[in-house]
Amino acid sequence: MRATLPGAASAMLPRPQLVVPLTRVPSRPAVTPLGLDEVVFAQMINSKDTQYVGTIGVGRPPQVLSVILDTGSSNLWVYSSRCNATACLRRPSYDHARSEAYEYPNTYVGPRRTLAQRESHDTSGVRGHDFYIRYGSGGVAGHFSQDSVQLGAMSLPGHIFGEVMDVRGEAFNFGQYDGILGLAFPPLALPGTVPVLDALASSTLLRHAMFSFYFSHAADGHPEESRSRFMLGGVEPAYAASAFNFHKVRDSSYWELQLDDVLLDGKSLGLCRPRNASLTLEQQAQQPAATGGCRAAIDTGTSMITGPSHAAETLADRLNVEPDCAVVSHQPTLTFVIDGVAYPLTPQEYALRFRSAEGEQRCVPGLRSLDVPPPRGPLWVLGDVFLRVYYSLFDRGANASSPRVGFARARHPARRSAAARSGDASRSQQPPGLVPQGAPSG
């Protein structure tokens, strides 16, 4: 079921009160990541349209680390200074010996095992004081630590998190992050740990257990582009170009919604079983979820849109994005129908552009196959390609009893050519640090 919150009502949602600027990520090769009544209003960094990271402080005094703020997981982990893996050595890391607040936690479950010995099909687990988390292209392992964790002005004393000592998988070696902060639900968290959002909601720091994401298009942070932002505790209406549509979360582990259908130029591809083709979208929204449709997780830690291999391959063939970016503007409109609400993406929005090693412009669809096994799957994942187009609000609801996700069309400033930006720069005598970084224009 879904509900539309009109513009006037949207303005009644909690507003950001605390602004926290975040550190810019250097432009290096990047791959898809593995996935008080105050609001932390944090600038995010878009690293080559593939990774959005924000900074947190760990320890006392705080050690500043860049993390992926990930709605597709529930754990907080950071690289340890005692980790000798390549991924750890090339990134800033957490040294618990430098923290006055560090404690060895009491978490203990079962016998200890090394990462190489962990052949279970489980995606994560705890053995002894150690933990391990599996991802599609590798995994991380380490031990639990207990220390202060800080987001802006909000501080969680004695929070238990993962200190990573071992890393498997080449993908981590290219990641522009020092850890992952999960924003999903407690069932996905490792035993003996509490997700950061739940810890904040249980304290007096956070009145509203909600957060929102605004993702920019720009990777270079030039002044005319609004910076990406993570807003803890509320929303900023200036980033919404439409009313919010809210959708009930169907499974409180991932932020999972009912996906009715996938359309190209308004026509169903049959990738999700239609509930009843004779019904309008509004009428379909009133039908029980069990009568058909797909499942879709809303995941800020995934750069693209993913789907079961048979569906994603069919969709990619029909999108027919040419590698040389020819006729991109003539490609079909891709639409995801959630609870009877159509969310269209234009070809310019779902096609990813990049420069080849020879400097030539290339295009690929922002789509890939990902087969999530039962019982979690099959599952579609709407990642950053979708979330750049739609400003997203994740709301746990009163007493976490009625979680929901809201989408409004994101308000992006008009993007001008590189030549126009260069002309502005040559005329301006202001130092870059004095250029205004305000909310997007109307």
- Give the pLDDT confidence of 71-102 residue by residue, as tens digits: 999 999 999 999 999 999 999 999 999 999 99
Per-residue pLDDT, 326: 79
For residue 269, is pLDDT > 60? yes
Mean pLDDT of 269-283: 63
Written as six digits, the tokens of 279 are 């019904």
Mean pLDDT of 218-242: 77
Mean pLDDT of 35-42: 37
For residue 34, is pLDDT > 80? no
Q: How many CB atoms lie within 10 A of CB 167?
A: 24
Mean pLDDT of 177-198: 93
Contact assessment for residue 85 and residue 167, using Cβ atoms and an 8 Å cutoff: yes
Residue 122 is a catalytic residue:
no
Q: Mind listing the pLDDT tens digit for each residue in 315-363?
A: 999 998 888 887 777 899 999 999 999 999 999 999 888 777 777 888 8
Written as six digits, the tokens of 148 are 């202060």
Q: Which of 130, 178, 261, 299 is catalytic?
A: 299
CATH topology of domain 14-212: Cathepsin D, subunit A; domain 1 (2.40.70)
Residue 265 is a catalytic residue:
no
For residue 219, is pLDDT > 70? no
Per-residue pLDDT, 45: 56
Contact assessment for residue 180 and residue 301, using Cβ atoms and an 8 Å cutoff: yes
Higher pLDDT, 192 or 246: 246
For residue 268, is pLDDT > 90? yes
- Residue 117's pLDDT band, with cuts at 50, 70 and 90, is very low
Q: Which one is the CATH code of 249-382: 3.90.1150.10, 3.30.70.240, 2.40.70.10, 1.10.645.10?
A: 2.40.70.10
> What are the sequence ranges of the domains in the chain?
14-212, 249-382
For residue 136, is pLDDT > 60? yes
For residue 240, is pLDDT > 90? yes
Mean pLDDT of 358-387: 88
3-state secondary structure of 264: strand
Per-residue pLDDT, 42: 53
Q: In angstroms, rounded to a whole number, what is the distance separating the alpha carbons of residues 373 and 302? A: 17
Mean pLDDT of 295-315: 92
Per-residue pLDDT, 153: 86
**Alpha helices, DSSP H, located in 153-195:** 171-174
Contact assessment for residue 123 and residue 106, using Cβ atoms and an 8 Å cutoff: no
What distance lies between CA 256 and its chain's CA centroid?
13
Give the pTM. Answer: 0.81
Residues forming a β-bridge with 44:
228
What distance lies between CA 133 and its chain's CA centroid?
18
Nearest to 410 by CA among 316, 354, 346: 346
Mean pLDDT of 129-147: 87
